Structure 1
Amino acid sequence: MTDTSDTRIAEDEAPAPRRSLRHRLKRYRPLIAPVLLWAVPCGVLLYAGQHWPLPVTPVGTALFVLGLLGMPLAMMRGHGRRQQDWAAIVGDTLLGASWVLFTWSVLLGLFLRLALTVAGVGTSEDRARIVTWAVLGVTAVLLGWGYVEARRVPRVRRIDVRLPRLGAGLDGLRVALITDTHYGPLDRARWSARVCETVNALDADLVCHTGDIADGTAERRRAQALPLGTVRATRARVYVTGNHEYYSEAQGWVDLMDELGWEPLRNRHLLLERGGDTLVVAGVDDVTAESSGLAGHRAHLAGALHGADPDLPVLLLAHQPKFVDRAAAAGVDLQLSGHTHGGQIWPFHHLVRVDQPVLAGLSHHGSRTLLYTSRGTGFWGPPFRVFAPSEITLLVLRSPHLPASP
């Protein structure tokens, strides 16, 4: 007879299987990314054959180490439990600056150096110094320009959208879209007021906000959000939650938008009628809502469309573009989304495309559904926009059913 107690002891003493390299890398990814962001530029600028005078290399290295240590600490104090705005500003700025510096250290460190070598320009040390000054110059220009782009009032982008099921009475309906305002540690109350003035100048029938109002609770960012109460629309002002609301007590934002006169479309719809024709305007909570644990919050398209005539055209507000698969399956005519920021700081858009089907603009999905993805009205985190300008969008809906001209 087999002694089962010995078997159990042997099993208990057996070594645990070794975790794969991929699993270990994934575990340490939060540490690897900041190290690369600071170590690569440090190597390219200081240790790639430049032979700088003695004070330059150690002082420069110390600055990179300070950035490497200071950035995550500042971000934890700024976005963690303490929510210290000054720390968030420092951490976010360092994050954006390190990303731009890393990007151009890699690109110019490889391609400019190769071009200079092929062209036979100077010695190896000369080429290394040219690359260094080029990286610093490009980074400084892009950060300065990117800061101005992030802080300015967005330009209005107008686009005509033809919806085959739209009735003639609704032709020319003007829909203004703002999204991802991200009121946050940098006080943008004046910017917010100017954005709202720009929206009011559009004389829109319907004004939409597709989420990510702010980073922080409604109580904390109330002053920056209050200008939204001045927005005018001839028919309706509607709002849906974004993923950032679910980091910051989403129900508080829903209540504040309701107080400011916006209609939160939480898995429901309203009917917009003009000229004898009707448009269903529906909205869903963000796809992250259910995992937030907040009671009653989830993305429920069937609930949003419940009771609507299936023969009527549908305009859907959903924060994330990837919701379009569900929208197309339900026969939605047009989905309005934000979330991507157009990548915000190039070339981050490549990482955005891993998670989202579209970066920006108008796209077709399925047999009927159109998706418009805004690059966003504000910015998240780093106060920079590089090759991804913000926007306020005016969509003019067009019907194919206009009566023939006499």
Structure 2
Amino acid sequence: MVGGQRGAVRTMAGVTAAAGSAVLAYGALYERTAYTLRRVAVPGLPAGARPLRLLHLSDLHVTVRQRGKLAWLADLARVVPDLVTLTGDILCADDARGPLLTALEPLASFPGVFVPGNNDYSAPTLRSPHRYLRAHVRADPRGEPLDWPGLAKELTAGLGWTELTNTRGVIAAGGLRIDLRGVDDAHLGRDRAELVAGPPQAGTDLAIGLSHTPEPRVLDAFAADGVGLVLSGHTHGGQIRLPGIGALVGNCGLERSRLRGLSRHETASGSCWLHVSPGLGTSPFAPVRLGCRPEATLLTLLPAGP
């Protein structure tokens, strides 16, 4: 009887291991490249304004061999956005800059704004998988330095987009005047919200803030200043999400329930909409997504209800 029980345990262990391997294979070989365009409606425009179509891209983590991702990016111009926003972690290596810019070229027909993420300053490195399960891991700068100033210059000069690293300005898009402000990466502690503080500029229809990492201190500052919508990435939506549990970790101070998609950020001083993009990529050293497909998002901003 004991021998039979041991055999049953070994069989169950084998079945469990096989099931786990199958799930990881699905996440690494299929879901990681199942690029998806999600469409989300957001209230907040003045009464009578026409809808504004905003394409939110984040966490591309492009490498030179990712032809499928680059082709999918190039095809996004078909959605004809009024404004493109890119919230950091764009490249994994400098040699991918040329292919990336070629893929983004069709979107150069539309106004665009961008901020950097932590991986735009240094390439990702091999880490212990146990680090992933820690709730809030500080960025490790030991990776190979990346030429963020060079990439930012090419996004500006080549595509005509505007960098919003600890700065603000006004852009006309979709028939509206938009107050836009952004901060450098909060995960690295480079954010300087005080440099972009203040109420929306007079005569603008909407204020939008960009921060690669959705740290609550940045969201609080934007909400207190009257920013209506904040766009972030960094979390990969958790990257691995389990049924009934959701994201395991997000590597920032935001609640796990808000690591992906649209939510309301409420403070004593004000409130705003927050959209956290799950992003389109992963680190080359953690090439798996589970229950969290890579996404770009087309946000349609609508006049607020009565």
Normalising by structure 2, we get a TM-score of 0.77
**Partner of 2:60 in structure 1?**
181
Q: Aligned-pair distance for 1:307?
A: 8.8
**Partner of 2:292 in structure 1?**
388
What do residues 189-216 of structure 1 show as CA deviations (whole Å, max 9, x unaligned)?
Answer: 342122221x211111111110000122
**Partner of 1:340 in structure 2?**
235
**Partner of 1:284 in structure 2?**
183
User: Is structure 2 residue 210 aligned with structure 1 residue 317?
Assistant: yes
**Partner of 1:231 in structure 2?**
106
- Structure number having the greater helix percentage: 1
Structure 2: distance between partners of 1:258 and 1:121: 71
Structure 1: distance between partners of 2:85 and 2:32: 21
Structure 2: distance between partners of 1:203 and 1:274: 11
Q: Aligned-pair distance for 1:371?
A: 0.3
- Structure number having the greater strand percentage: 2
What do residues 146-189 of structure 1 show as CA deviations (whole Å, max 9, x unaligned)?
Answer: 1211123x1111010001xx2245431100111100013x7113
Give the 3 Å change call, closer, same or farther, for CA 399–234 of structure 1 in structure 2: farther
Structure 2: distance between partners of 1:382 and 1:393: 23
SS in 1 for 2:278: coil
Give the 3 Å change call, closer, same or farther, for CA 372–320 of structure 1 in structure 2: same
> Contact 1:175–1:204 at 8 Å: present in 2 too?
yes
Q: Aligned-pair distance for 1:364?
A: 1.0
What do residues 258-300 of structure 1 show as CA deviations (whole Å, max 9, x unaligned)?
Answer: 233132222222222555x4221222221245x5xxxxxx423
Query: Which residue, out of 38, 42, 45, partners 1:161?
Result: 42
Query: Which residue, out of 300, 304, 307, partners 2:196?
Result: 304
Structure 2: distance between partners of 1:232 and 1:353: 30
Percentage of identical aligned residues: 29
Output the amino acid matched with 1:318: S
Structure 2: distance between partners of 1:299 and 1:228: 29
Report 1 or 2 for greater relative contact order, CA contacts < 8 Å, sequence distance ≥ 6. Answer: 2
**Partner of 1:208 in structure 2?**
85
User: Is structure 2 residue 248 aligned with structure 1 residue 350?
Assistant: yes
Structure 2: distance between partners of 1:342 and 1:145: 18
**Partner of 1:263 in structure 2?**
162
Name which one, 1 or 2, has greater alpha-carbon Rg: 1
Number of residue equivalences: 268
SS in 2 for 1:214: coil
Output the amino acid matched with 2:111: A
Give the 3 Å change call, closer, same or farther, for CA 369–128 of structure 1 in structure 2: same
Output the amino acid matched with 2:259: L
Output the amino acid matched with 1:132: A
Structure 2: distance between partners of 1:121 and 1:278: 76
Normalising by structure 1, we get a TM-score of 0.60
Query: Which residue, out of 318, 327, 333, partners 2:222?
Result: 327
Report the aligned-residue RMSD.
2.8
Structure 2: distance between partners of 1:237 and 1:388: 26
**Partner of 2:72 in structure 1?**
194
Query: Which residue, out of 260, 280, 283, partners 1:360?
Result: 260
> Contact 1:210–1:337 at 8 Å: present in 2 too?
yes
**Partner of 1:49 in structure 2?**
none
**Partner of 1:249 in structure 2?**
147
Output the amino acid matched with 1:344: Q
